[in-house]
Amino acid sequence: MDKFKNHGEMFLGVWYNKTSVEPILSQEECSMLKLDLSKLKGFIPEDYLTSRQDRLAKAAEMVAAHTGPGGDFTGWVTLPRDYDKEEFARIQAAAKKIQKQSQALVVIGIGGSYLGARAVIELLLSQNYNLKKKDTPDIFFAGNGLSTDYLLELIDLIGDRDFSVNVISKSGTTTEPAVAFRIFKALLEKKYGKEGARERIYATTDKARGALKGLADAEGYEEFVVPDDVGGRFSVLTAVGLLPIAVSGIDIDALMAGARQAMEELSVPGLDNPAWQYAAARHGLYQNGKSIEVLAGYEPRFRFFAEWWKQLYGESEGKDGKGLFPASVEFTADLHSMGQYIQDGERLMFETVVKFLPDGEYAIPDDPANVDGLNFLSGKPLAFVAEQAMRGTILAHVDGGVPNVLLELPQISAKSVGYLIYFFEYVCGLSGHLLEVNPFNQPGVEAYKKNMFALLGKPGYEDLKAELEAKL
């Protein structure tokens, strides 16, 4: 580390350039992602990292060895290397088949069964994917709610077009996707007959048991596996996410390659590891009174990636009365709505900003009348304006009492997105162990389900139904 002393300074356990905010070690040790923690100064103790070194080492060991609370659900840790290559090839073949046979694909799932796929498709191909001219099917998501209006609109959008269905559920009995699958299965059978529908239904489910598995076996649907050792919110790099992603035309080989690069780089233990630094910073901020982490992106197509991130951290950390509350904003748009609260409201939060390098370029035109007074920007790239807006926002929020973490990546690509997915998953595992909770279960999700089943009149819930109706 001595070789850096003539070029940088130490802050919070990380060496930084004296002339910029780039953390030297993070850039060298992690070629895809740069982590800037310089805007945490004054918000957490300078020994935030070294004081947690032993706990981080223990957490990393539990994640790597598949031990500790929830260890049975850490198959995602080596997934980018050890994934089922035969199934991967079948996913690619099924995607090509769907592209040829259908103009639309309905992806039926809830939570981790749809958020990851939608996050990747929109981030890589645009939130306007279905509106773009393309040679791949439109992709619609169903079974993630119970809105009648949404369902009717979706059926109308599909219209008379040829379509297929990818139903994703480990059990096959979760209410929202099960109801949606009933509806779209009936529509397929009405349109194509039972035999024709069979060729257009793809079931991603448990490998051995469950209602959907039994139905898929009986009906002869093509099947893909929800791994036993990968929880839903960590499943985007399994068939759960990869089949819809591949149908959209995204290079899933490159996606997995980015995740594997992250796996290999982040598995190296030590204080130079950016995942250790970020996990420790989050924990330090939490213990120093910050209860909300706001994920900020500057690309509209980042929105559903943030939704995926919120489930990942909310379900992993929010238990036993603990955990940072994950929220998200889209800048610069939300600077004109949530910006006031972030700047001047209760000092409950810190920000994590994700920045990608721009892929395109557009110069701001000159206006001879200069009506808006912006001719000083004439000829400058729009990306330059966006960069200064981001830098100015970070400084304003830090001055207002909101600590800031900055994650910088190259241009949005399958590889960089794969890297970012794994980075957040790995940090999530470390963070849960630092909090001393099981990061891989979600007991609180079951509470609403029991109440819903009782109020719907499901057999076996009669006593609870009477108790709940007395409260209403």
Give me the active site residues, please.
Answer: 315, 336, 449
CA 315 – CA 309 distance, rounded (Å): 10
User: If phi over 0 gives left and psi between -120 and 50 gives alpha, with beta otherwise, what is residue 113?
Assistant: alpha
Q: Please give the order of strands across the beta sheet that includes 34-36.
A: 34-36, 404-409, 349-356, 292-297, 325-330
Place of tokens 């109020």: 455
Helix segments in 159-228, DSSP class H: 175-198, 211-219
Q: Tokens in use for 241?
A: 């996410």
252 and 414 Cβ atoms separated by less than 8 Å = yes
Q: Are 124 and 412 in contact (CB under 8 A)?
A: yes
**Strand pairing report for 292-297 and 325-330:** parallel
H or E element: which one contains 295? strand 292-297
Helix 414-435 vs helix 274-287: crossing angle, to nearest 10? 50
**Which structure tokens are listed for 396?**
């304003």
Classify residue 133 by burial, with Cβ atoms within 10 Å: 0-12, 13-18, 19+: exposed
Tokens describing residue 283 = 């924990």
Backbone torsions φ then ψ of 35, nearest 5 degrees: -115, 120
> Hey, is 438 helix, strand or coil?
coil
DSSP E strand boundaries for 132-189: 138-142, 163-168
CA atoms of 425 and 231, how far apart (whole Å): 11
Question: For residue 159, which phi and psi values (nearest 5 degrees)?
Answer: 60, -135
Instruction: Say if residues 302 and 123 touch (Cβ distance below 8 Å).
Output: yes
Cα 317 from chain centroid (whole Å):
15
- Longest CA span, the chain: 76
- Residue 52 · residue 38 · CB < 8 Å: no
Say if CB 165 and CB 185 are below 8 A apart.
yes
DSSP 235-281: -TTSHHHHHHHHHTT--HHHHHHHHHHHHHHHTS-STT-HHHHHHHH
